[in-house]
Amino acid sequence: MSYSFFGTCYSDHQQFFDCLQTILDQTIRPNEIILVNSGEVNIEKKILEKIHNKKIKLVYIHRKLSRVKALNLAIEKSSSEFSFRFDTRSRFSKNYAEGALFALRNENLNAAVVGGVPKVLSSSSGFKQKLCAKIMGRSYLYFFPKHRNINYSGYSSSIYLGCFRTSTLKEIRFNEKEDILSEDSLIISDFLERGFNAYISSSIKVAYVCRASFFNILKLFHTYGYCRANTIFVSKKIFISKRHFYVFIFLAISSLILMNFALKGLIALPIMLLIFNLISEIIFYGKVNNLHVPICGTLCQFSWILGFLWRIVTIFRSNISKSNFIS
């Protein structure tokens, strides 16, 4: 039994070394680490210093590619039975690989890809940094998907990063039909479409370090919306899961009802979302003094909507950026 960690980096290469340390601390160490660096700074020598005497093979590729192509290049180089994806902001518990390998080899689960729900970490103790982490960790802002419920164990339509059977991943690969922004749910959708199971276990502990700027969080939600529209164009599926269908119906009906009260009635839509977020914050977190979280979260939701609409508007543009690394 062997496994590899594979991933990419860009201008965020400094974040990678903290991620690397959590990889090296695994109770079952990987036999290789595969990194495709699309940034300007060559960090191979520094990585080799970190893994010295660890008996871990480093496959380092310094080439400017979009993230999807970089990921596919990385998995081509994997010589292990299993391949675990990392992101520079990822932080793995010591038994992450142990739990993932157990789940992948569990015949009762029959899962070709497994993972855990990430805990969101603040980059520092500052107010803005904590606010950003709270926003990213509130599942109600995404309308309660399973893959954002930290206590969830079960099958899912999306998994953060993912731990794969290498042979299956090499066959399916990350989707390159559109060489632009993609998302985790698209690769999982491709697995599910071929009859494979994707499983989340609450015992597979993983975290990621949240961006420290609220402006960057707004950009990230904008990117999420852009990604969702792009996934629809690439996969030809409007709804990847039932939850997407239910959310669409809710928003569509709300908009139609409000339009009957004239176009100005649409102003009530953000108010409805804000009320939903405020109630969810109080019910699920019980902290009235954290009301700035749902307020800022509502702004993020509208940034998502703008990103989604922007992708639809730019469907025929030919000069879209070929890089999908998010700063």
* pLDDT score, position 104: 93
Per-residue pLDDT at 180 exceeds 70 = no
Query: Could you report the per-residue pLDDT of 88-110, keeping only the tens digit for each?
Result: 999 999 999 999 999 999 989 88
- Nearest-5° angle of CA 26, CA 155, CA 98? 15
Domains recognised in the chain with CATH numbers: 3-117+152-212 (3.90.550.10), 233-313 (no CATH)
pTM of the predicted structure, to 2 decimals? 0.81
Per-residue pLDDT at 178 exceeds 80 = no
Query: Could you report the per-residue pLDDT of 194-225, keeping only the tens digit for each?
Result: 889 999 998 899 999 998 899 999 988 888 88
